[in-house]
Amino acid sequence: MFIIDNVSKEFKEKKGIFNISTSFNQGDIVGLVGDNGAGKSTLLKCLFNAYKVDSGEFWYKNEKLNKNSLKKFSFFPDQSIYPKNISIKDFCIYSAKLSGIKTKEAKSRANYLLEVLNLIEYKNKTFKSLSAGMQKRALLAICLINEPEIIVLDEPTANLDVSTRVDFINLLKLLAQNGKTILITSHIIDELQKFINKLVIIDEGHIVFDRYLHPDDNIENIYFNITNRKKRKSIDIQNLSF
């Protein structure tokens, strides 16, 4: 089990995150939802030590999260930060070696993941030569190279077409079925409806909703009701005139 216990990080003008507490189990797919500036990115940066927390702790398997246990976590960021002129295989190997994996094992894992993710024929291609969907799969290979137990994904389906998005979601489902815990941030609420089993809503730095979902739950309705946001009115197409 992964536990976030009363984590706070405050910035100027009373912005930040405040007493964030939640927990996830093995195989969960958790949706972390909130508007821009709600605190999602701050929480993730605290988790991966980009920010030092003011108070609170992260726990994993009954121990405080430390340098060694953090190796079991992997972060899937926006693809724009990755080097565009290195082959995806070489970058997989490089990432593995950064995690302390020896070269022979790194090459073996890279070949296996590229094969599984249907990227083996593109292994010598650079990031910039790949489509958006292939870049996402290549990044997923890099995330999996250190055999993580928890995968954190920040807006992973952004800029993907419909069919590629469906394929990527199915990959996440498969990872969860194989025991990986998935934490995903997304603005696409109706998309999360299709595959998460737990919803956490963060609003103005506070968790305002945190529970496992029932089959008849509607994430969009939950979000707008909890945050008191108003749904945008639909355009009345029938009464349009030009």
Domain range annotation of the chain: 2-231
CA neighbor of 77 nearest in space, from 119, 48, 120:
48
Helix 132-144 and helix 162-177: axis angle, to 10°? 10
* Predicted structure pTM score: 0.85
Strand order from edge to edge, sheet including 206-212: 73-76, 150-154, 181-185, 29-33, 198-203, 206-212
What ranges in 36-157 are assigned the alpha helix state H?
40-47, 88-98, 103-116, 132-144
The answer to whether residue 165 scores a pLDDT higher than 70 is yes
Residues 168-225 have pLDDT tens digits of 888 889 999 999 999 998 877 888 888 999 999 999 999 999 999 998 999 999 999 9
Give residues with Cβ within 8 angstroms of 43, minimum separation 6: 4, 7, 17, 20, 32, 202
According to CATH, the topology of domain 2-231 is Rossmann fold (3.40.50)
Please report which confidence band the pLDDT of residue 228 belongs to, taking 50, 70 and 90 as the band edges.
Answer: confident
Alpha-carbon distances of 96 from 10, 54, 105, rounded to whole Å: 34, 32, 9
* Per-residue confidence (pLDDT) for residue 105, from 0 to 100: 94
**Coil, strand or helix: which one is 153?**
strand
Q: Give pLDDT tens digits for 85-96.
A: 889 999 999 989
Q: How far is CA 186 from CA 28, 40, 41, 128, in A?
A: 16, 10, 11, 24
- pLDDT for res 76: 84
Confidence at residue 160, expressed as pLDDT on a 0 to 100 scale = 76
